[in-house]
Structure 1
Amino acid sequence: FSFYLRSDLVYTTANNDRFAVNDFSALPTNFIITQTYQRLFTVVATANTAVTVAKVLEGPGFTPEIKLRLEAEGKFLRAFTYYQLVRLFGRIPYVTDETLGQGIDVSKISRSSVDDVYAGIIADLQFAQSNLPDKWTNNTRTRGTAGSATGLLASVYLTQNNYAAAYAEAKKVIDKATAYDYALLPNYIDLFDASKANGLREHLFAIDFIFQGTTAGGINDDILGAHLKPILSPTPAGTTFTNGFGNVFASSAIKSNLVWSNADRRKNILTAYTNIYIAANGRILADPAGGVPAGTIASVPVPANRNYVIAYNILAGNSQADGRESDINYGLLRYAEILLIASEALIEQNVSLGEAAGYINQIRTRAGLANTTASSQVDLRVALREERKWEFAFEFSRWFDIKRWKLLDLPEATHPFGPNGYEPKANFASINWAAQYDYPIPQVAIDSNPNLSK
């Protein structure tokens, strides 16, 4: 999670591979980089197999329409996963073939150009658009649909700076929101409420972890909440902190009213508390600033100099005391993002700026904020970027925004990691910032295939 959350909004104090990722000093041997790369390519391999098998299925239940739908599900998942990989690593091996009964000789695969990877992603998403249903009958949000494929395609085009296409795809989602059953939730906190997790109308695509009794920290352990909080003993009475499993913290600067207004309803829902409380029923709560009723709680101070993120723990359902096994579904693409994609695409084209402001204001209204006063392209760009920063804080998108907007190219005075940024880097001057947009290909992958070093 420190891998995906790396940005000016978070930091880690763990003096290990997590710290190296956060501090821009990670080597190709870094365990977190290696693990992420390998697991994403495992998903790609599974999706490739699904696409291949879907084409050859036989039997009375496998009509041409069903086979196309199954193929489209595989292609949606493949596109989604390659979209993660290409934004994280840049030039990667792009493989779509899977011959049944035969493995692919990985030692002969070369890295593809970024443009070629995106061309494959777009082709897969266009196929998914045409062959997936608008929505599933059981209202699940964890499978691809025509709507989620369209929304993801809008995001892809935005990343490529193809603003006209990004707006066109986002507008398709907005115009068909009723048919797709998409909408902004009235209350932002509902995005993190386990009791409402399934079928959230704001989720175009989400992950629902199912704990399977694996070893703690395993792939099915659903431990995001644990990474963002300290460990508590299992018994609420006499609860104490250990040295802490939490290892990703909110940057101290974002608690400042000068940076993030207390009027913003998202602030207390998302971030950073320095004390937590145990209610009579054992629920873990934030400090009174987050709305905890007085007189019903016992204070437990957290370790000094830590700003824990509350979002994934405040309403986590049957989550363990240490944050594992959460019932929350993680929204990977939300309707709020579609609105802001449409807004950004219009702003960058310098057209329909009133419409662009309207999309921003929908997000601000839910957050309890007044409409933006921005009206020019320059001012709306600033407003849009600020809104994305807070709306999707701690949701794995800030790093991709930093990369997309080339913020690492800024001079030191305005650099996100400079002395005036939210997370100043002591080693700022020694970092080659131009080389930091892509993570290195893991050494273990290069060792098995020297072509990947080229």
Structure 2
Amino acid sequence: MTKKNIINGILGLSLAFGLFSCDDQLDLRPISQETTENAYSTGTQLEAALTGVYESFQSNDYYVWDKIIFQDVRSDNYYAGGDNPEIFEFDAVDVSTTNSRVFNAWSSIYNAISKANLVIERAPQIQEGITENQREEYIGQALFLRAYHYYNLVKNWGGVPLILETIKSTDPSEVRIPRNSAEEVYAQIIADLNDAELLLPDTYGNDASINKARATKGAANALLAKVHAQKPNPDYEAVLSHANAVINSPAGYELLDNYDQLFDGNNYNNKESILEIQYLGSDEGTWGPQMHLPPSISGDTWRKFVTPSKDLVEAYNEEGDEVRKNATILFEAVPWIDEYWGNEINSEVPFAYKWRNASGWASADNDYILRLADIILMKAEALNELGQLDAAAAEVNSIRERVDLPELTADDMQNGDALRRAILEERRLELAQEANRWDDLVRYDLMVQIMKNVDDLDLRNNQPVDYNVSETDALLPIPQNEINRNPQLEQNPGY
């Protein structure tokens, strides 16, 4: 599709118009003719609307923090920690339909989609104060963002209602729409990203804080690589093609020489980064690090959340991976009891450490949405699935070399199944606390097996923990609030 056809075709998108959600999360009042014609009539106003789409990353609890709960706490990487019963549900892989974190994530992500839809819909109509190049870039960025939000919806819930236009009615017959299939959602994501890739530049100039804050061709190709692997029928030829487009991008992505510098707070927007959530601190800071970090850093003494699991620590130890372990986990004696690490006060407990500056709930620690090491390992996965084992191993070894680990062994490479497990383990060690683990377990069809093999002991009663997972736990429940508002929504199996 040509750029001109993309722009002319944007307004032809004709799937659902709206979705009922909570009043304080998603405004269902129709966008009136007066609003659309007067409030968004200049390039400056459109740019402000696009900024609002990006702002959803900073204001959405799912992107600030809950994605770690959904991905790492729900898996074998981290325990819930803290004292929140709803987070304990994720730890136990027993999430209820009324869990407010599930409902808030669903609502907030759809809110962000509605903002992206507004930019996509209005951009072709605006003539004042905008160049054609700007128009294309704005549409491309909004398409990328919409695709990214739908990717998070479909990973967590499976098929969801596709809403591709601004809400123009509150008529129940128009806004109460059924779920699309997962295949349909993935097809829309891929279509949006393919269109975005045509419209987006490789960079916006020489300012890294801009290039890593906005969607680019590299971001679109990186997300396409992940999407083509995660969808119900993976396309590993496409994964390989898009991963190579990132690796060979004119944007010049490269692995940092020092793994720890990715997270030390002094090297954000670096050459390995493809896209980051930007935090400036103060009233534009993130509260996430305060939830994780130990008393010596956070300055408070209440029990912290997202505690690294014994299984994760053992994985680092068994691999001899001191570099990534020390960059990811910090041990400290604590003034509370931990049911996994020490059933008495002053036991030494591990802490999530990839965000390192609490700053009193207003941290300037950025959060990686996409970075090169993830995409290199996606390339390794694709090569292995395509039968190119030696080439796949070479990609994995490039990641291992940075952290002073030896190359994969002959046993790791004896066949595709063995190498698949080695790649999965490498992704775990490389990407812990970066909201990838649950997706990886589901994609590799190992979620049930691995979770049932976790050997955790609850020190309060000295009983093993039974992670009684099944295939239906791969997806979260559709929030009961949404089903109550929209009877056309069908609940996921098992809930």
Give the TM-score, by structure 1 length.
Answer: 0.82
Query: 1:29 and 2:91 equivalent?
Result: no
Number of equivalences: 400
Distance in 2 (CA, whole Å) between partners of 1:81 and 1:73 is 12
Distance in 1 (CA, whole Å) between partners of 2:408 and 2:457 is 23
Corresponding letter in the other structure for 1:200: N
Further displaced range: 338-347 or 3-12: 3-12
Distance in 2 (CA, whole Å) between partners of 1:167 and 1:142 is 25
Corresponding letter in the other structure for 1:37: W
Distance change >3 Å, CA 3–CA 254, structure 1 → 2: closer
Corresponding letter in the other structure for 1:445: E
CA contact (8 A) 1:260 1:267 kept: no
CA contact (8 A) 1:86 1:114 kept: yes
Q: Which residue of 1 aligns with 2:429?
A: 390
Q: Which residue of 2 aligns with 1:169?
A: 242
Query: 1:190 and 2:190 equivalent?
Result: no
Q: Which residue of 2 aligns with 1:206?
A: 276
2:451 to 416, 430, 433: 416
Pairwise CA distance, 1:55: 1.8
Q: Which residue of 2 aligns with 1:378?
A: 417
Alignment of 1:391-406 (within 5 A): 391-406=430-445
Distance change >3 Å, CA 231–CA 165, structure 1 → 2: same
CA contact (8 A) 2:316 2:325 kept: no
Spell out, residue by residue over 1:334-367, the C-alpha distance to the aligned partner (whole angstroms, 9 max, x if none): 101111111100101112x222111101100111
Pairwise CA distance, 1:407: 1.5
Distance in 1 (CA, whole Å) between partners of 2:348 and 2:92 is 18
Distance change >3 Å, CA 302–CA 326, structure 1 → 2: farther
Spell out, residue by residue over 1:46-79, the C-alpha distance to the aligned partner (whole angstroms, 9 max, x if none): 11111112121112x4233321221111000000
Pairwise CA distance, 1:117: 0.2
Q: Which residue of 2 aligns with 1:227?
A: 291
Pairwise CA distance, 1:382: 2.2
Distance change >3 Å, CA 116–CA 9, structure 1 → 2: same
Corresponding letter in the other structure for 2:122: V
Helix, strand or coil: the match of 1:44?
helix
Distance change >3 Å, CA 122–CA 229, structure 1 → 2: same
Distance in 1 (CA, whole Å) between partners of 2:365 and 2:285 is 12
RMSD: 2.6
Q: Which residue of 2 aligns with 1:41?
A: 110
Distance in 1 (CA, whole Å) between partners of 2:346 and 2:203 is 45
Pairwise CA distance, 1:230: 3.7
Distance change >3 Å, CA 441–CA 122, structure 1 → 2: same
Corresponding letter in the other structure for 1:36: A
Helix, strand or coil: the match of 2:214?
coil
Further displaced range: 35-44 or 72-81: 35-44
Helix, strand or coil: the match of 1:186?
coil
CA contact (8 A) 1:252 1:422 kept: no
CA contact (8 A) 2:457 2:465 kept: no
Corresponding letter in the other structure for 1:367: V
Q: Which residue of 2 aligns with 1:114?
A: 182
Q: Which structure features the higher share of helix residues?
A: 2
Helix, strand or coil: the match of 2:420?
helix
Helix, strand or coil: the match of 2:331?
coil
Corresponding letter in the other structure for 1:52: E
Query: 1:253 and 2:290 equivalent?
Result: no
CA contact (8 A) 2:93 2:469 kept: no
Distance in 1 (CA, whole Å) between partners of 2:448 and 2:97 is 23
Q: Which residue of 2 aligns with 1:217?
A: none
Give the TM-score, by structure 2 length.
Answer: 0.75
CA contact (8 A) 1:92 1:111 kept: yes
Spell out, residue by residue over 1:125-180, the C-alpha distance to the aligned partner (whole angstroms, 9 max, x if none): 0011100000121222121001110111011111132111111111122222xx11
Q: Which residue of 2 aligns with 1:342?
A: 379
Pairwise CA distance, 1:446: 1.2
Distance in 2 (CA, whole Å) between partners of 1:104 and 1:382 is 50
Corresponding letter in the other structure for 2:380: S
Distance change >3 Å, CA 273–CA 233, structure 1 → 2: closer
Distance in 2 (CA, whole Å) between partners of 1:95 and 1:344 is 32
Pairwise CA distance, 1:269: 1.1
Distance in 1 (CA, whole Å) between partners of 2:265 and 2:348 is 29
Further displaced range: 113-122 or 45-54: 45-54
Corresponding letter in the other structure for 2:109: L
Spell out, residue by residue over 1:389-444, the C-alpha distance to the aligned partner (whole angstroms, 9 max, x if none): 1000111000111111121343xxxx33435479997233xx35111000011111
Corresponding letter in the other structure for 2:132: P
Pairwise CA distance, 1:257: 7.2
Identify unmatched segments of 5+ residues in structure 2: 1-65, 335-343
Distance in 1 (CA, whole Å) between partners of 2:262 and 2:423 is 21
Query: 1:357 and 2:393 equivalent?
Result: yes
1:67 to 92, 116, 135: 135
CA contact (8 A) 1:253 1:259 kept: no
Query: 1:438 and 2:483 equivalent?
Result: no
Helix, strand or coil: the match of 2:349?
coil
Corresponding letter in the other structure for 1:247: F
Helix, strand or coil: the match of 1:110?
coil
Spell out, residue by residue over 1:299-341, the C-alpha distance to the aligned partner (whole angstroms, 9 max, x if none): xx9853632122211xx3xx42x5x222221111110111111
Using the aligned pairs only, state the percent identity: 28
CA contact (8 A) 2:99 2:479 kept: yes
Distance in 1 (CA, whole Å) between partners of 2:224 and 2:321 is 34
